[in-house]
Structure 1
Amino acid sequence: MSSLRVALIASARHPITEPFAGGLEAHTWGLAHALITRGHEVELFAAPGSDPALRARELPVRTVALSPAACSDASMPSATWMREHHAYLSLMLDLARDGADRFDIVHNNSLHYLPIAMASALRVPVITTLHTPPTPWLESAIQTHDRCPVVFTAVSRYTASAWHPVVPAARVVRNGIDTGVWQAGPGGSDLAWSGRLVPEKGPHLAIRAARAAGVPLHLAGPISDAQFFEEQVAPLLGDGVDYVGHLDRHELAHLLGTSAAALVTPGWAEPYGLVVAEALACGTPVCGFDRGALAEILTPDCGRLAPPGDVDALAALIPQVMQLDRHAARRRAERFCSLERTADAYTALYDEVAR
């Protein structure tokens, strides 16, 4: 397969660098790194502060010089919304002007609507990965075309099914993790939870389940909702439950690899669940809520799922999961969740679409 020139569009809100703000940023970093390693020419359009090793180019995140009259208008959105809108608008206009001379493929890995809405202005194929459940902005962008020119992928069968009414032909390409970084550990006696500390990830529910099971728990991740953390998480810390901070990949791999099991407690329909793949790669079985795509990743020999939101049922499963075979968890990650599989799928799709 010949080398391809890829424009990879990422988030304008969070830099693509460690420690990652969330699973989307971690996935984007991994994909960019894998493509570069394979000899492809990648330009990553991302937020300021992104990893320079990925040849990242800052999205033109400029403060818009709006007049006092515009700022006082009833329709004025937040400053963050305006900055993101302006960044993606500027980028898509740049790509419409000379993108075909610079790239073979534009891969939109952001959650913004403009790369979809403006895809028809480009003379280069556009691929968009669907990372979330349907949103009104993206559905609107898709329907601005009689026939949307974008090729869509989805990160799980569950996510593809959720988008089916407006994107009936999304191809499933699951997110992957670097199993060379996320290596199997010896296990331990405690539990681990990782992710963004926000209500939809349910860290407070993980604490309640761990306490009910009588097993110590270590939580790791960025405090993305400070009010939620202070009101719902911090009061539950102590007495066998601690918050160990926002860790980089190597630190998190050590935490997971030295834990008996990982708790995954989404309060929403998880589109994929990168934290599940990371735990399995570390040889750590998973105990979680059966929401979204988690059941696509886990098999009975590496995890158990409780009904959504049922803390007591989750607590009852914890002792079972702690006894599962760590080698089986690692094998599942290698065969189903590897970054190599993800990169294989995307490079094959790039080659197909760019022909």
Structure 2
Amino acid sequence: MTHRIAILGASGYTGAELVRLIATHPEMRIVALSADRKAGLAMSEVFPFLRHLDLPPLVKIDEIDFSNVDLCFCALPHATTQEVVARLPRDLKIVDLSADFRLRDPAAYEKWYGQPHAAQDLQAEAVYGLTEFYRDEIRSARLVAGTGCNAATGQFALRPLIAAGVIDLDDILIDLKAGVSGAGRSLKENLLHAELSGGTHAYSAGGKHRHLGEFDQEFSKVAGRPVLVQFTPHLLPMNRGILATVYVKGDAKTVHQTLENAYENEPFLRVLPFGALPSTRDIAGSNFCHLGVVGDRIAGRAVVVAVLDNLTKGSSGQAIQNANLMLGIEETAGLMLAPIFP
């Protein structure tokens, strides 16, 4: 069976990544693509790397006939998706890639995103889209909220450790490096080549990054009590990838074994042998996440390093993984492509 797919916001990086992945998906066919400023253009004009594909033209959202769509991906900017999703048919399956439905508490959304949530009834319906930990809920969901790419990386490193009680919950530090595509495709002065190339910098330090809302929500839920982590992201002059170095108090061998046990049957999560550390070059363009654990010279401390591609496993690949479950398709369909190297 072929499922008919619409992508809203197809002119952005995550929209293009969805098209790239769905192009070889055995059971999905793109029937509609939307854009705002680029409506009326062919996808090949916006993204020449996709010119070999026979794709529908980019149109405005209100020009799409959703009665001809089985599932819709929303790759729209934050704070715009609520209004758009509220206007879509209530029987349409939706995977949202924005932040608009990630936080269950409307007050938390207002705290981290600076405005009241405009679709609280839909917020209550949404299922958090970290696939490996919410499979059953995602299978039966109509609306799935994709995670933040940074939030996914940190959770893959920490959720099993928090659940197993093998680390000190009051002493967790996440030092994260991210590629520039995570900032989106819109023009920004600090992302110009001359401003970014040849250097790196921390941003949203001191507990200001919005993905902390997801860490607070999910880690506290797993632990059954409040868990607050230190988190500092850094912007690197590379196109794709996230590397999170996570510092915890706990026995390093136990930490490694806990992650191995948690992920031994997960198709996209790979735990390296103890002492080996992953690189972003090993997962580029793929839906894989690699994790490594080493001990520290200070007894009773461990370092966990997690890497994934922010556009694939951190966003569009995760979205397709969730859509596969929602449509009754094999979870790995269209996603087992090997990473790009070099």
The alignment's TM-score, normalised by the length of structure 1, stands at: 0.37
Higher strand share: 2
Greater fraction of residues in helix: 1
Using the size of structure 2 for normalisation, the TM-score is: 0.38
Q: Which has the larger radius of gyration?
A: 1
